[in-house]
Chains A and B, each alone.
Chain A
Amino acid sequence: MGSHSHSGRRQFLTGGAVAGFVAAAVRSVRGQTAAPEARPKDNLAYGQPSRFDNTIRRTTGRASAINDTALMTPLQDLDGVITPSSLHFLMDHVNGIPDIDPQQHRLLLHGMVDRPLSFTMDELKRLPSVSRVYFLECNANGRPLRGPSGDSVQLVHGRTSCSEWTGVLLSVLLKECGVQRGASWVVAEGSDANKYTMSIPLGKATDDILVAYSQNGEPVRPQQGYPLRLVVPGWEAIRAVKWLSRIKVADQPIMSWHESGNNADTAADGKGLWFRFELGPKSVITRPSGGQRLPGPGFYEITGLAWTGGGAVRRVDVSTDGGRTYKEAELQQPVFRYAHTRFRFPWTWNGDEAVLQSRCIDERGEVQPTIAEAAKNMGVTTDYFYEADHFNGIQPWKVSRDGSIHNAIV
């Protein structure tokens, strides 16, 4: 009894006599030395934005014991579809960002497989890789906010970001291991202090999940999972396990705290909603948006982002009269599946009150609902969404005669 101390195990994982020997013996084909010297990243070695530019992540400032860190992407200041890695949203459910030496890092695959395997980072990079543009969105993103926080697209919708991820398809790794009959789930675990854990159906794991080591062309940032992150296209980003170090093939989900309790919602009848995975069709106008002010009547290009867990955005409609009439917006090409899609729409403001909003229709034909329609679909009142996840309602921004813009969601 009482023999279950973890300190020995942790030492085994992070300490490194054995791992160091392997790293020294197997030299990288990419020509990296076993222990690259850390160089300071000054403004010449690693470029910085202009000192006049203040495009940064922000937090709602609401004290929360559940989430230590919540930093939202400044969607109103960004263009195109790629989020700079340094501005990728951060919504952490872990106990600090681990400082991982990639030479010591291993990805272990085991469980219901014919051949358990352990991969070094160098071995993973030797496997066939793919680069794909995918968004990651927190399941709580877009939850309506009241008060000053609700008047900013950054604070309401900034828990979504889009990157070009490069890595090995999980299906390739599973094939190397040989998945056994009867398996139906994979359980992915990170090597943060809490060993964050998530379950994913095998069907998705063998479909398009990526084991990514690169984000926007450079190594994944520590805040985003360095050196390895699971990227699960179109699904709530809580599935995208950071600092990925273990994948167990199983015949049942693990029902980890973060998937069975902490991220379950209650339905109208009081039942818990588990494993909702896919995100619905969604869009938001990022400019002009809440908290901004139009200097006067005249021409403004309306622009924003659309995305969906259902694959590709097929169409985005924009309304300047609060949804009474919609016109089709122009989509920036190419449109990537499971990626942010930029839309643009010409608008001349005549100085009267206006309500700007956008509506996403995805390749499945699913249409982004208004908050009233979403409430009807769920059998709840609109207040429900202030505390629930997976809300994908239309976001109206009201332009007043003085040019000020406010959140007009009920």
Chain B
Amino acid sequence: MRSSRLLAAAIALSAWTTVLAQGPTYRLGTTPSEAEIKARDTAVSPDGKGLPPGNGTATAGATVYAQKCVACHGPNAAGTTLARALVPLGNAKPVKLSWSLVPYATTVWDFINRAMPKTKPGSLTADEVYAVTAWVLYRNDIIKETDVLDAQSLPLIRMPHRDNFFPAQPGWKPMAKRPLGYYP
């Protein structure tokens, strides 16, 4: 029993190293240029890597919101039939609405940057994304109206719900028994 388990572990480990270490077999595909990778690698993770230069405050964000967001999200970010409310977004009181549970400010920035406004996703400048992110966070009582958001300050914001999440570890093993309470 024990030796078979060891053997299985050894096989699993060797398969793993194989994937990591081996060179190319088929030699298809082309090497992308640094510029192409940079142009496409726009997603921003919680550490803030990849955030572009630029900055904005809630005050500036109010102007952007009035121009480009209010039509769908409504006055005071209360939502309309076209789009959800932006408050609450990360309030400290657990709300049984999954979309109120945003854990990182970078997630807000990243989604606005890639997907907003709906009529022209990806058209906002970095300054506009920083500003409108600041405005949304300000409306959720997470930052002050005059706080400046940029590549340095954004990842430092602690969302109120940040500690109310199970850690972001994959924790996945093939055929592992799933823990009750995490799954029904």
Instruction: Mark A residues whose CB is within 8 Å of B.
Output: 1-7, 9-10, 12-13, 22, 63, 65-66, 95, 108, 110, 115-119, 123, 126-128, 171-172, 174-181, 184-185, 187, 189, 193-195, 197, 201-204, 206-207, 246, 248, 250, 252-257, 260-268, 270-278, 280, 310-311, 364, 366, 369, 374-375, 377-379, 385, 387, 389-393
Contacts and interface: CB of A to CB of B under 8 A. Distances in A.
A13 B95 CA distance: 40
Contacts of B21: 178
23 contacts: A2-B125, A2-B126, A4-B129, A7-B122, A10-B122, A108-B40, A175-B18, A175-B22, A178-B22, A195-B121, A202-B170, A203-B173, A203-B174, A252-B47, A260-B104, A260-B107, A266-B95, A267-B166, A267-B182, A272-B101, A273-B165, A364-B175, A378-B181
A116 B181 CA distance: 40
A110 B98 contact: no
Given A1-B126, A253-B168, A265-B98, A181 B20 contact: yes
Given A3-B126, A66-B84, A119 B28 contact: yes
Contacts of B47: 252
Contacts, number: 255
Given A128-B26, A264-B103, 19 more contacts: A4-B52, A4-B127, A9-B42, A108-B37, A117-B30, A117-B32, A118-B29, A118-B31, A119-B29, A179-B20, A202-B170, A203-B172, A246-B41, A261-B101, A262-B98, A271-B164, A273-B165, A378-B180, A378-B181
Nearest to A261: B102
Contacts of B158: none
A1 B84 contact: no
A260 B109 CA distance: 13
B43 interface: yes
B46 interface: yes
Contacts of A369: 184
A206 B111 contact: no
A275 B166 CA distance: 9
B71 to A, nearest CB: 13
A116 B31 contact: yes
A12 B37 CA distance: 12
Interface string B16-58: 1011111111111111100011011111111100001111000
B54 A1 contact: yes
B184 A393 contact: yes
Given A66-B99, A201-B170, A273 B182 contact: yes
Contacts of A171: 19
A282 B68 CA distance: 44
A176 B25 contact: yes
A65 B80 CA distance: 8
A277 B37 contact: no
Contacts of B99: 66, 261-262
A310 B174 CA distance: 8
Output the residue of B21, B29, B32 with the most chain A CB within 10 A.
B29
Contact of A118 (B26, B30, B45, B111): B30
B67 interface: no
B106 interface: yes
Given A115-B31, A179-B20, A390 B183 contact: yes
Interface in B149-169: 161, 164-166, 168-169
Contacts of A390: 183-184
Contacts of B94: 266, 270-271
Q: Give chain B's interface residue range (CB within 8 Å of chain A).
A: 35 or more
A178 B36 contact: no
B123 interface: yes
A378 B178 CA distance: 12
Contact of B45 (A252, A271, A275, A385): A252
A20 to B, nearest CB: 15
B139 interface: no
B29 A95 contact: no
A262 B178 CA distance: 22
A68 B29 CA distance: 36
A266 B54 CA distance: 35
Contact of B28 (A176, A189, A262, A277): A176
Given A194-B115, A255-B107, A257-B111, A185 B177 contact: no
B183 A272 contact: no
Contact of B24 (A12, A115, A255, A366): A115
B98 A123 contact: no
B2 interface: no
A278 B115 contact: no
B98 A277 contact: no
Contacts of B170: 184-185, 201-204, 275
Nearest to B54: A1
Contact of A364 (B25, B118, B172, B177): B177
A321 B20 CA distance: 54
B88 to A, nearest CB: 11
B134 to A, nearest CB: 15
Contacts of B81: 63, 65
